[in-house]
Amino acid sequence: MGAMIDVMIPEGQLEGTEATLQSWLVAPGDTVKKDQPLAELETDKVTMEVAAPADGVVAELIAGEGDQVSVGMLLATLGDSEAARPVETTGSQAVATVTTPDAAPVTEAVIPVDARLSPAVRRILKEHPVDLSLVQGSGKGGRVTKCDLLRYLKNVSVAVQVPVQMPVQPVMPVAAAASVDEKTVSGLAGLNSTLRPHSTMRKRIADHMVDSLLHTAPHVTSIFEADLSAIQRHRARYKTTFAEQGVKLSYTAYFIAAAARALQAVPEVNSRFHDDVLELFHDCNIGVGTALGNDGLVVPVIHQVQDLNLMGIARRLQGLTDAAYSSSLKPSDMQGGTFTISNHGVSGSLVATPIIINQPQNATLGIGKLEKRVIVKEIEGVDTMVIRPMCYISLTIDHRALDGYQTNTFLARLVNELENWPLD
C-alpha cells in the first residue's frame, strides 16, 4: 500500500489570513495529475486554486465547502490506486440544501456538467444557461470560474439574484405594539426585496474596516488642495509616447510617483506602529485601491516605487489594474504594502473622510475629483481670479504613530511635487 499525500495550502499563499473553501473541483476516487486544480479558495482579496502536489487518486476530502481554512490545515489526502479509498465527506456532497425562513428545505437536483466546473459555477448555470465558449476563463487551463461567469452575466445585463418576498407581519394594535421595535415591525411589512449573500471578500472587508476604525487606530484626516496644471501639461505632452509603448499614462501614476518622493522626505508616514517601536520601511510599496463594482475592493501593490520612473510606475499600475478586473491577481500582488492610495475621485467624489486605514499601515492617501475651479492667484503683485484644474488631497493617519506635523509636512511635500512637475 502506497503512502498517503497530504494536500495543504502552501506557505505564503494567504499572508497569514484565512480563506473560505469555495468549492471542490474533484471528488473522492478521482484520478488527478500533479498541479491539477483540486479546490477553489476565496479570501478577502482574491480567488485562488489549490493544486495537487503529486499524481494520485483522491482518497478523502477533509475540509468542506464553506469551511474557513488557513495555511498548514489539512484539506484532503491523495494516494495511489490501492491506498486511496473514497470517503464521503461534507466537502464532496452533490446535493445542496437551501433553507429559507418559514419554508421547507429545497433540494437542488444534480445535473451532469463539465467536471472541471466548480459547484458555484454549476449553480449559476442552472439559473442562467450560458454558452461557456463565450466566457473567457481565468482559471488554470482556461477554466471558467465563478467570477468569470458573473462578470459575463453582468456585461449582458443578467442579474444573478434571487428575489425574495419578505414575510408579512400582522398589523398589531397600538397598545400591543408598544413593546415591539417599530423599525423591525415596519421593516418586515410585506416589502419586496432581493437578498444578496455576502461574498467572502465583502465579509472580510467589513471585518477589516471595523477593526481598523473602531478597535485599532484613532483616525485623523488632514486635507490640502493641489493645482494639477503642471502634471496636466506633462500628461498632454507624453501620453501618446506612452501609448505607443502600450502603456496608459493615468493621473494615478503621477500621484504614486509624488507620494513615493513625499514618503522618502517624511519616512514616518511609511511605517508600522508597534507597541514599543515605530517600524520605518526603506521601500515605498504603494497599494492602489481598485473597486470591483459590487464585488468589493482590492489593493494591488506596486513594490519599490522609489526605484521606478514614471513609465515603470504606469506600466506596473496598468498590469495590476488589468489583473484585478480579470480576477487574475496573485496573492503576491497584494502583499507587502506599506502605504495605500485611494483615488476615490475617479467616481466623482470631491472628499472622502475618513478613508479607513489599510492595517497594519499608518496612513492612507485620498485623491478627490479633478475639476476646474476659480481660484485667486497673485500675478505681478495683483490678486487675480484664474481657472485651474484643482483637486482635494487628504491623508488619514493613525494618530498613535503620527501627529499633525508629519501629516502636514507630507502633504505639503506631495502638493509641491505635483504643482512643480517638470515638463521634460
Q: Enumerate the active-site residues.
A: 399, 403
Burial class (CB in 10 A: 0-12, 13-18, 19+), 171: exposed
CB proximity list for 263: less than 8 A, separation 6 or greater: 269, 270, 284, 306, 339, 410
Burial class (CB in 10 A: 0-12, 13-18, 19+), 222: middle
Q: Which residue has the cell 428575489?
A: 163
Whether 395 and 364 have beta carbons less than 8 Å apart is answered as yes
CB proximity list for 134: less than 8 A, separation 6 or greater: 152
Angle separating helix axes 251-265 and 229-244, nearest 10 degrees: 120
Whether 125 and 144 have beta carbons less than 8 Å apart is answered as no
Q: What are phi and psi of 235, to 5 degrees?
A: -65, -40
Q: What are phi and psi of 261, to 5 degrees?
A: -65, -40
Q: β-strands 363-367, 339-342: how paired?
A: parallel
Q: Give which of 366, 377, 349, 379 is closest to 407, Cα–Cα.
A: 366
Q: How many CA atoms lie within 13 A of 410 on its CB side?
A: 29
| Own/partner pairs, 160-169, CB within 8 angstroms, 24+ separation | 160/124, 160/127, 160/128, 161/194, 161/195, 161/196, 162/194, 162/195, 163/192, 163/193, 163/194, 164/100, 164/193, 164/194, 164/195, 165/190, 165/192, 166/190, 166/191, 166/192, 166/193, 167/101, 167/102
291-313 as b/e, with b when 16 or more CB fall inside 10 Å? beeeebbbbbbbbebeebebebb
Q: Give which of 257, 238, 239 is closest to 248, Cα–Cα.
A: 239
Q: Calculate ∠ Cα 137-140-141, nearest 5°.
A: 75
Q: β-strands 301-302, 278-280: how paired?
A: unpaired
